[in-house]
């Protein structure tokens, strides 16, 4: 079997669960925190890992950015952070937050 392929003995759900566990481990959050984030709900643990408030993370996922989120992203202009959130959309912003967790 080639890397990344799924055979009839492997369920897609099990494959996905393993990936989620790996991502949660790399992001240093619980699987529950990651699952909540994927659904668009930010936990205190996620916000704490980023060093910003839950509201700042939630606002970014909704398409706006605070000064703290702008700094977390490594940007200097809030308008650039807001444009990033707007262009990325909800799912993209969640992916960016997961990337920030892994990188921090």
Residue 99 resides in a domain: yes
Domain of 59, in residue numbers? 12-103
Token pair 């949660």 is found at 24
In a domain, 3, yes or no: no
Note every long-range contact of 26-31, with CB atoms under 8 Å and residues 24 or more positions apart, other chains counting: 26/102, 27/98, 27/101, 27/102, 28/101, 29/101
**41-63 residue pLDDT tens:** 999 999 999 999 999 999 999 99
Specify the pLDDT at position 40: 93
Residue 7, domain member (yes or no)? no
Domain assignment of residue 1, yes or no: no
pTM of the model: 0.84
On the question of pLDDT at 3 being above 80, the answer is no
Structural domain contains residue 20: yes
Q: What is the pLDDT of residues 86-98, one digit of tens each?
A: 999 999 999 999 9
Q: How far apart are CA 90 and CA 9, in angstroms?
A: 34
Number of domains in the chain: 1
Domain contains 76: yes
CA distance 66 to 39: 21
């Amino acid at each position: 079997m080639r890397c990344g392929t799924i055979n009839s003995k492997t369920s897609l759900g099990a494959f996905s669960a393993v990936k989620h566990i790996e991502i949660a481990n790399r992001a240093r959050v619980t699987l529950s925190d990651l699952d909540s984030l994927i659904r668009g709900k930010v936990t205190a643990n996620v916000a704490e890992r980023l060093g910003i408030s839950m509201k700042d993370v939630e606002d970014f996922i909704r398409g706006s950015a605070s000064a703290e989120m702008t700094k977390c992203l490594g940007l200097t202009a809030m308008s650039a952070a807001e444009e990033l959130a707007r262009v990325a959309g909800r799912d993209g912003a969640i992916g960016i937050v997961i990337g920030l967790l892994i990188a921090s």
